[in-house]
Amino acid sequence: MTKRTKWILAGVVLAAVAGAGYLQVQKAKTKGTEVRIEAVQKRDLVASVTASGQVTPRTKVDLSADITGKIVSLNVKMGDMVTKGQLVLQIDPQQFESQVQRAEAALANARAGLAQAKASLGQSTKNFERSAEIKKGNATLISDEQIEQLKTTMEVSQAMFEAAQQSVKQGEATLKDARWQLSRTNIYAPMSGRVTRLSVENGETAVQGTFNKDAATLMTIADMSVLETKVKVDETDVSRIALGDSAIIQIDAFPDTTFIGKVVEISQSSVKGASTSAGDQAIDYEVKIRLLNPPTDTRQDFSATAKVITDSRTKVLAIPIIALTVRENEALANKDSVPANSKAPAKQVGKKDVEGVFVVDATNKVTFRPVKVGIAGEKYFEVLSGLKENDKIVGGTYQAIRELKDGAIVKEAKQPEQKPGEKKS
């Protein structure tokens, strides 16, 4: 065989091997699991917590009556602006004026009784002192029994005088209480603001709000210049929120506009949340977000959704949230050596779950690689370690990632054709 023939045969063999390899790769591509393949890229990420609630004024007052009576004058309507100290409602004062008159008469009677008791005490005291001086000069003129009777009369007069003093004090307190109740027939605005709730009409009976505040509330006055959104945040998210965090707020009444807010208060105790399907009680915390640019026509109790910005990153490596999965790592050997003759129980070797992604190589074979992630944006995780820019990873679907195994062959799924006018996801 000539040398040329040998070279030709060697070339044929190499071509056959290369062709077989190419066919193997193409076959693998054809039979591989369909997945979505993405390249690791740098992105801007924003971590946030979204919660819903209602718009409320920072300062509001629920007015209720301290007495029970018929409303004879209602000086405001729903939506009216009022100023501090303005008379907004009057309860029929006739009954309370009568109580004041009775209390005044009772006090006058008590004062008259005090004057009488004082005079009686003075007379009995003089009689006792005079008789005591006479007996001291001549013991035979007045008996000891007479002296004792005069002393007893003086002591009784002293007690009656003290009782009359207490009666006067009681009358003064009763008159003070009656005048206080009469003053409560006029209800004044405790602050300037807008009447956002009016629960009564002229002629209705105002009920004293000792036991049922909601039923006794006559009206609500609110300062609508400073508005807040009260939202309920789940216990798993509230620790990520801090005072001063900015927020983007959407109010249902203004669907085409977003508003800027700032976290001003985070409750220290939970509020009662709705029960879950399993019967467990959801633990929520109330977070107050002040609106920095509220619209002038905002009304109390408007529904709103707040997106609180808890953290942000600029130009960091990121992977799709759906790409991150968990796999069981190899058995971890016990690092603590135990002597062979030791009677101490040996520690069990366990398994450790690790987070990571499936990296795709040039032959479309995937390898599970542990990845450490940082903050989570809406669709992407920040990558702290484990990947570099332009690495190709499996970015979907969830079903495919869940069933993938280390060393599996994948192929890129065909993207559905975009319909005219449809936005690209």
Angle at 306 between CA 300 and CA 309, to 5 degrees: 145
Domain boundary among 262, 288, 312: 312
Mean pLDDT of 156-178: 95
CA dihedral 69, 100, 179, 117 (to 10 degrees): -150
Mean pLDDT of 99-106: 95
List, as one string, the DSSP characters of 240-300: T--TT-EEEEEETTSTT-EEEEEEEEE-SS-EEEEE-TTSPEEEEEEEEEEESS--TT--T
| Together in a domain, 166 and 230 | no
DSSP-derived 3-state class of residue 88: strand
Q: Are 264 and 286 in contact (CB under 8 A)?
A: no
The pLDDT tens digits of the residues spanning 295-306 come to 888 888 999 999
Q: Do the domain assignments include residue 300? A: yes
Domain boundary among 118, 151, 184: 184
Q: Do the domain assignments include residue 387? A: no
Task: Look up residue 202 and give its two tokens.
Answer: 């002229």
| Together in a domain, 102 and 180 | yes
Q: Do the domain assignments include residue 230? A: yes
Domain boundary among 125, 150, 184: 184
Total tally of structural domains belonging to the chain: 2
Q: Do the domain assignments include residue 286? A: yes
The parent domain of residue 162 ranges over: 93-184
Q: Do the domain assignments include residue 43? A: no
Higher pLDDT, residue 158 or 344: 158
Q: Is the pLDDT of residue 146 over 50?
A: yes
Phi-psi region of 193 (alpha: psi -120 to 50; beta: other; left: phi over 0): left
| Together in a domain, 105 and 178 | yes
Q: Do the domain assignments include residue 104? A: yes
Which CATH number is 248's domain given?
2.40.30.170
Closest C-alpha among 302, 282, 162, 292 to residue 230: 302
Give percent of the chain with pLDDT exceeding 70: 82
* Alpha carbons 70 and 278: distance in angstroms, whole number: 50
The pLDDT tens digits of the residues spanning 195-226 come to 999 999 999 999 886 666 777 889 999 999 89
Q: Do the domain assignments include residue 175? A: yes
Q: Are 34 and 395 in contact (CB under 8 A)?
A: no
Higher pLDDT, residue 329 or 93: 93
Which pLDDT score is estimated for 142? 82
The pLDDT tens digits of the residues spanning 323-372 come to 999 988 654 333 333 344 444 444 444 457 899 999 999 999 999 999 99
Work out the pLDDT band at 60, boundaries 50, 70, 90. Answer: very high
